Amino acid sequence: MAGKIIADQIEHSTAGSLDTSYVVNGSAKAWASMTGAGTASVNQSLNNSSITDNGTGDYTLTNTNAFNYADYATGCGSQWRRSLYTAAQTSSSINFYTTQPDASETALADSGSTGFSVTFTGFGDLA
């Protein structure tokens, strides 16, 4: 590709230097932000081909470029759900859900009346 820079280190004028391997290995290789209100939709993402709305608080994200291993590192967050759990994970997909939302959270999700958002990040080596 045009504009390629090959470097093993980058150096800041005052803050020191850093191996570029830190940047390459430490960057998220897949991420997504989606809205669960009404019909689910993806707001922003990278390396994601689809989300599947499996039911209340239950989603599956599928990657375009699979990870090398099935146990890559993940992080999930939610606007107001307190606990998100990874239910199943393969090298190219992750299923996460919340097991025991309290009553108000379930009501909000079911009504679709709020900006219910879920975020996901995946770190690891790609296939």
Q: Does 79 bind other proteins (CB under 8 A)?
A: no
Considering only 81, 109, 120, 122, the residue that binds other proteins (CB under 8 A) is 109
Site size with other proteins, rule: CB under 8 A: 41
Cα–Cα distance measured from residue 88 to residue 14, given in angstroms and rounded to the nearest whole number: 44
Which of the ranges 13-21, 40-48, 75-83, 97-105 carries the binding residues for other proteins, by CB under 8 A?
40-48
**HEC states along 91-107?**
CCEEEEECCCCCHHHHH
Q: Does 100 bind other proteins (CB under 8 A)?
A: no
Residue bearing tokens 């093993």: 8
Structure-block tokens of residue 4: 């390629």
Distant-in-sequence, close-in-space partners of 16: CB < 8 Å, separation ≥ 6: none
CA pseudo-torsion sign 44, 47, 50, 54:
negative
For other proteins, the closer CB: 11 or 21: 21
CA proximity to 84, closest of 34, 30, 26 = 34
Considering only 62, 89, 117, 119, the residue that binds other proteins (CB under 8 A) is 62
Q: Does 54 bind other proteins (CB under 8 A)?
A: yes
Question: What residue ranges bind other proteins (CB under 8 A)?
Answer: 1, 29, 32, 34, 36-42, 45-56, 62, 64-66, 68-70, 90-93, 109-113, 126-127
